[in-house]
Structure 1
Amino acid sequence: MNRHYDALDAVRFVAAIVVALHHDSVPILMDYLGHYGFDSAETLYRSALFGTAAVSIFFIVSGFCIHAPYVDAPPVSWRAYFARRYIRIVLPFCAILIPAFFLGVSYNPYAGFITWSLICEIVYYSLYPILRGAWRRFGWVPIIIISYTISYWCLGIPSLVDEGGAAFFALLSLRDVLHNLPIWLLGCLLADLAVRRRSVQIGLLIWPSRAVLALTMFATGWLHYTQTVHYIYSLPVAAPIFAMCIWWEIHANAAASVLVRGGRWSYSLYLVVHHSGFDSLAATG
């Protein structure tokens, strides 16, 4: 089944805007308030527009979009699948990397850019045929439970080697892939539910759902920037809430057309985001 969900385009666009605003320089108003002693203003801003939480939403949407066409599909042509997936993500990425190289811009995944998440996406695309086979036999729930267990177990992987160097960054990438896998798989589960279950009437209840989504993103950001709970611990816990809110968006089908159109450009916007240096205020992982 290859149905297009306009709500997901809108969600993608809003998430891309959040990432862009989070990584962009802090507005003049925030600098002004901070200068006069309102130090929490910048933290409030970054928490309200917590880009890392928006990346988690991207992972959920990605898992949904990858799995939805294959929920009730006949035997899959994996050659065509890999061609579509790699062309879609790798070619635009290369279109950014090549001019960035000549302009002297670093796209190191851990030097402030979001390319670490694209590494995760490529791995998930590559693993999907295996994951789909496991889903057909066991369903998504046990797979997600196992992936959550691995997700928290792997948090200490980068500490196995000295910080810096190729080995450290390789282990950091491995940690990110394993840590975000259950979030991506929640999108696959969501696709399963959306395709196979009957539509429900949401109506005005979509607004409380959106409020819950925004508040959950804010809470994970605030906990992170106040160094209470690092996002690597809080976001996997928050991800089921994100997934439920996205499910409501799909069934409400009430996204503004401008957001739906913007969603077609969300990947391009996502690729050119840069880091502002604000993350130095928080513990990094």
Structure 2
Amino acid sequence: MDQAQDIAGEPARAARIRGLDSIRFIAAAIVMFAHTGQPPLRVGIDTHTLAGRALDGLLGNTSSSAAAVIAFFVISGFCIHYAHAGNNQIRSLSEYYARRYIRILIPALAALAGAAVLHLEMSLFDKSILWSVAAEIIYYTLYPLLLLARRKAGSWLPLIAVSFVFSVMVAATNPLSGAYPVFGLKLNWLLALPCWLLGCWLADLQTAGRTAWAEKWLWPLRGATWATMVVCSVLRYHSPIGYPWTLNLFAILVTFWLMAELAHFSKARPVGWLEWAGGWSYSLYLTHKLTFILLGPLYLQGLGLIPGWTIQLALLLAGAYVFYLAIERPSHHLARIVGRRLASLRPAAAANPAE
């Protein structure tokens, strides 16, 4: 989600990658539906029959907001590293940090201010979408050091392997947890780190032109990714195997699925409105709960299930777009201005700590 628009706006090179915004919007919509109400597809199903219960269970697990956040992490790692994957160097650390922090923090702080006004609990890790924003900030902060380690190792793969070991150690501290972000500020980011690094690895493959082979597997990978998301959801809610044990493995499949999407959209044109909506998916991610609370007094359910849900969806999207115009887009402009100013102040011969 800048996840260099991953959550809030992309680097220049990543902006040329078609299709990512569409995926980003779909993932944000999945999170929104989980928090505000799923599409009314299960209405009228007779759950007294075996077939009805099976259909109701399937529809109830067709998507997973936690899995959608994992996709965001992979895309984020891709976008951040893709801007630097050509030479594995950061030209200006001050410019890099200013752009990343301004893009992600200004919208997040505005959302937190709105939450305070509405008395909505949006603490970073307690049943809130903001835990992932906190993890992103940590990844952005550590990226120059991770990039240096990648240069020393020659590849992201050793770092990914080590990060998986640490993620298992984190999961083992609460082995029966079903939810993913329950390990607090000190450990949640470490649990999800393999997902973000997988995106960095994908950026290297894309830069080296080693993703074209995946296009022929596009539909099998789409189907496998959806099916695996369903399995992860079923395991989380109907078995002792929770998301901390399954979603990092799911991230590996997501990486190959995104590889196929990258190869596909290098030739095909994505759906225009999805790409446009993906440009403000971070705003949707941040504001859907706030807008949902504001809509409460309208009692849209009184209009009927389908009309009420449809109007609610339209208002949730409209609220996110207004937030984007008022807060997120200006933060992008400010990040570019500050970044250019800091870059111009850097002496030409200055040493780069990330080199």
Alignment of 1:98-177 (within 5 A): 98-138=113-153, 139-157=155-173, 172-177=184-189
Distance, in Å, in 2 between the alignment partners of 1:135 and 1:203 is 27
Distance 1:78 1:42, change over 3 A: farther
* Contact kept? 2:77, 2:200, Cα under 8 Å: yes
Structure 1 equivalent of residue 68 of structure 2: 54
Q: 1:133-171, CA deviations, whole angstroms, 9 ceiling, x for partnerless residues?
A: 000110211101000000010124479xxxxxxxxx995
Distance, in Å, in 1 between the alignment partners of 2:183 and 2:27 is 27
Distance, in Å, in 2 between the alignment partners of 1:151 and 1:234 is 11
Distance 1:197 1:44, change over 3 A: same
* Contact kept? 1:9, 1:263, Cα under 8 Å: yes
Letter of the aligned partner of 1:179 in structure 2? L
2:13 to 2, 24, 37: 2
Which structure ranks higher in relative contact order (CA pairs < 8 Å, sequence separation ≥ 6)? 1
1:221 to 212, 233, 238: 233
1:13 to 16, 25, 30: 25
* Contact kept? 2:31, 2:65, Cα under 8 Å: yes
Q: Is 1:84 equivalent to 2:99 in the alignment?
A: yes
Using the size of structure 2 for normalisation, the TM-score is 0.69
2:274 to 248, 259, 275: 259
Structure 1 equivalent of residue 245 of structure 2: 233
Cα offset, 1:195, TM superposition: 0.6
Percent sequence identity over aligned pairs: 33
* Contact kept? 1:21, 1:49, Cα under 8 Å: no
Letter of the aligned partner of 1:132 in structure 2? L
Q: Secondary structure at the match of 1:76?
A: coil
Q: 1:154-209, CA deviations, whole angstroms, 9 ceiling, x for partnerless residues?
A: 124479xxxxxxxxx99522221110001110000000100112552666642222
Cα offset, 1:29, TM superposition: 4.8
Q: Is 1:200 equivalent to 2:212 in the alignment?
A: yes
Distance, in Å, in 2 between the alignment partners of 1:207 and 1:63 is 24
2:194 to 182, 190, 212: 182
* Contact kept? 1:50, 1:218, Cα under 8 Å: yes
Q: What 5-or-longer segments of structure 2 have no aligned partner?
A: 1-11, 176-180, 293-355
Distance, in Å, in 2 between the alignment partners of 1:114 and 1:84 is 22
Q: 1:41-66, CA deviations, whole angstroms, 9 ceiling, x for partnerless residues?
A: 55433421111001000000000001
**Residues paired across the two proteins, number:** 267
Q: For the pair shown, which has the larger CA radius of gyration, 1 or 2?
A: 2
Q: What is the alpha-carbon root mean square deviation over aligned residues?
A: 2.6
Distance, in Å, in 2 between the alignment partners of 1:242 and 1:250 is 12
Using the size of structure 1 for normalisation, the TM-score is 0.85
Distance 1:228 1:9, change over 3 A: same
Distance, in Å, in 1 between the alignment partners of 2:46 and 2:118 is 33
Structure 2 equivalent of residue 70 of structure 1: 84
* Contact kept? 1:157, 1:175, Cα under 8 Å: no
Distance, in Å, in 1 between the alignment partners of 2:150 and 2:120 is 41
Distance, in Å, in 2 between the alignment partners of 1:95 and 1:145 is 37
Cα offset, 1:111, TM superposition: 3.5
Structure 1 equivalent of residue 223 of structure 2: 211
Structure 1 equivalent of residue 327 of structure 2: none
Q: Secondary structure at the match of 2:19?
A: helix
* Contact kept? 1:63, 1:184, Cα under 8 Å: yes
Cα offset, 1:26, TM superposition: 4.2
